[in-house]
Amino acid sequence: MSLDNNTDVATRFLFEQADIRGETVALKQSFEQLTENHGYSETVRALLGQFAAAVVLISNNLKYRGKIILQAQSQGDLSLLMVECTSEAAIRGIARGDVSTERDDPWELLAGGQLAITIERENGPRYQGIIALDTHSLAAALDDYFLQSEQLNTRFWLSANSEYAAGLMLQQLPAQLNQDASAREDQWQHAVILADTVQASDLLTLAPDALIYRLYHQDPIRLYPATSVSFHCPCSRERSHSALLLLPLVELEEMLEDDGHIDMQCDMCGQAYRFLRSDFTELADTRILH
């Protein structure tokens, strides 16, 4: 089954006879919406795609309303790259810096940087973990992060181009089905060795359920219903208007006199909003005074 008709979904699965869970994600339309209107190069789009796939895989482990933010800062071509995913599987993100640059290896854009994983719980505490980007890939950095922070074996396989973003994650769970350490290690290695046969092209062309079947059709697997992933930015004309009203009215007056209008653009989604004098009834009194 091809990927084209099975995108913008995350699919969880569980090994029936081992304490291991897995998840796949495939993004297209949501990824296109995340990257459009910004003039990103293909390299930047590919790197954003890896971050998008990774943050969806991580966020599906949320047990409460909130969001996870995957953010990298560096002294390289990109000063900032961030993608967030809510507990409702809504994503958005942004890259800043030389976003038109091209590289053979997208990871070079974040040379010498650090990666932060932030968990924001709605009406709850905020948690953040930081790790240096001294690995050869985002997947390797995340492997190290989860092993250090959660003491659980976790592996990521990520791939993206200018059109698609996809990923696979495996995580060993605390001992329940099997208490024997040696047997648990054998089961983990079995799952990882099979996943290591995945090529980047497989992630970008196979539907999630087809990928899982190809890897683990000889293992008892419990497949959960797919979760739809969408792009969503909470910006709006009303929010932009409210932000402008926080400025002194005299400053608004000056901005309107310069161009006859005020343009605002959302950094995240690129949506543009134009406001005319007629949009600001609050300026009526200052106009009379002039």
Q: Among 204, 231, 258, which residue terminates a domain?
A: 231
Position 4 in a domain: no
Residues 81 and 224 in one domain: yes
Position 96 in a domain: yes
d(CA 127, CA 196): 31
Question: Cβ atoms within 10 A of the Cβ of 168, count?
Answer: 24
Q: Among 206, 231, 256, which residue terminates a domain?
A: 231
Residues 26 and 159 in one domain: yes
Position 18 in a domain: yes
Residues 137 and 220 in one domain: yes
Residues 185 and 266 in one domain: no
Residues 55 and 157 in one domain: yes
Residues 268 and 162 in one domain: no
Contacts of 48 (CB under 8 A, 6+ apart): 31, 34, 35, 40, 81, 83, 93, 95, 160, 165
Residues 63 and 207 in one domain: yes
Position 241 in a domain: yes
Query: Domain with 259 in it: what CATH number?
Result: 3.90.1280.10
Q: Kindly provide the b/e burial profile for residues 139-165, where b requires at least 16 CB atoms within 10 angstroms of the residue's own CB.
A: bbbbbbbbeeeeeebbbbbbbbebbbb
pLDDT per residue as tens, the chain (290 positions): 555 656 899 999 999 999 999 999 999 999 999 998 788 999 999 999 999 999 999 997 777 788 999 999 998 899 999 999 999 999 999 999 999 999 998 899 998 899 999 998 888 788 899 999 988 999 999 999 998 887 789 999 999 998 999 999 999 999 899 889 999 999 999 999 999 999 999 999 998 889 999 999 999 999 999 999 999 877 777 877 777 777 787 887 878 887 777 787 777 777 777 888 887 777 755 444 44
Residues 151 and 285 in one domain: no
Q: Are 167 and 198 in contact (CB under 8 A)?
A: no
Q: Residue 287: what pLDDT?
A: 46
Query: Domain with 104 in it: what CATH number?
Result: 3.55.30.10
Q: Residue 288: what pLDDT?
A: 42
Question: Cβ atoms within 10 A of the Cβ of 188, count?
Answer: 19
Q: Residue 191: what pLDDT?
A: 97
Position 33 in a domain: yes
Residues 201 and 106 in one domain: yes
Residues 163 and 263 in one domain: no
Position 1 in a domain: no
Position 2 in a domain: no
Position 131 in a domain: yes
Structural domain of residue 127, as residue ranges?
9-231
Residues 119 and 222 in one domain: yes
Residues 111 and 246 in one domain: no
If one counts the domains in the chain, the total is: 2
Q: Among 183, 198, 231, which residue terminates a domain?
A: 231
Two structure tokens written together for 221:
């697997």
Backbone angles phi, psi at 205, to 5 degrees: -125, -25
DSSP conformation class of 2: B
Contacts of 100 (CB under 8 A, 6+ apart): 39, 40, 41, 44
CA distance from start to end of the chain = 68
